[in-house]
Amino acid sequence: MVRARLINATGTWDRPFWPRYPGQESFRGRQLHTADYPGPQEFAGQRVVVVGGGTSGVQHLMEIAGAAAQTTWVTRRPPVFREGPFGEEQGRAAVAHVDERVRRGLPPQSVVSVTGLPVTEAVARARAEGVLDRLPMFDRITPNGVSWADGRTVDADVILWATGFRAAIDHLAPLKPGRAGRRHPRGGHAGDT
């Protein structure tokens, strides 16, 4: 019996992931995903909350900080910054880590949770200037911004969701993929929120 194997290499870029938070529909400002990122000039003079701890979130935050009146960075977990080079040995270790998780039936995790955020000159400068001071995830979205259970609030004109993507597999539905077809639920580029 010949068993067919299919490698789906269609990527994730057309399936942005939008988390749901209480009060999200009440927000009076603009919400957009990094998939629709228009560039930093779009945020001139505005108060922007960037949600997500991946590379896209960091890069967009650093760009927006130069134009916005105020930026706030929130993530589910504290970011892990990686000092020093990321060479062949580190790359192999990252691939081995992902492979080990998938073989155990676990999601592969986001790229940045395995590799860390590289500390470039720009990142080091942004950290020193306080641009990359992160807050934990808010508990709800309000009409005027975001809030935490402890009473803290941040007013915002824009919430930019840098929350990654999910695997683009809808085209495989006629094949009725089994469990193996769903082992990679987070997709390739899923920035940790």
Which band of pLDDT confidence, cut at 50, 70 and 90, is reported for residue 3? confident
Which range is least confidently modeled, 31-40, 112-121, 167-176?
167-176
The predicted pLDDT at position 9 comes to 67
pLDDT in tens, 89-109: 877 877 787 778 888 888 776
Higher pLDDT, 44 or 107: 44
State phi, psi for 36 to the nearest 5 degrees.
-110, 20
> Which range has highest mean pLDDT (12-16, 87-91, 175-179)?
87-91
Domains and CATH numbers, the chain: 27-78+89-182 (3.50.50.60)
Q: Does residue 183 register a pLDDT over 50?
A: no
> What pLDDT shows up at residue 63?
97
pLDDT of 191 strictly over 70? no
* pLDDT for 192: 43
Lowest pLDDT segment from 48-57, 68-77, 105-114, 153-162: 105-114
Out of 61-65, 116-120, 163-167, 171-175, the most confident range is 61-65
Segment 38-54 mean pLDDT: 96
Question: What's the rounded Cα separation, in Å, for the pair 120 and 96?
Answer: 25
Residue 4 corresponds to which amino acid?
Answer: A
Query: Is the pLDDT confidence value at 184 over 50?
Result: no
Instruction: Report the predicted TM-score, pTM, of the whole model to 2 decimal places.
Output: 0.77
- Nearest-angstrom CA–CA distance, 163 and 192: 6
pLDDT score for 185: 40
Q: Which is nearest to 107 in space by CA: 50, 58, 164? A: 164
Q: Are 33 and 168 in contact (CB under 8 A)?
A: no
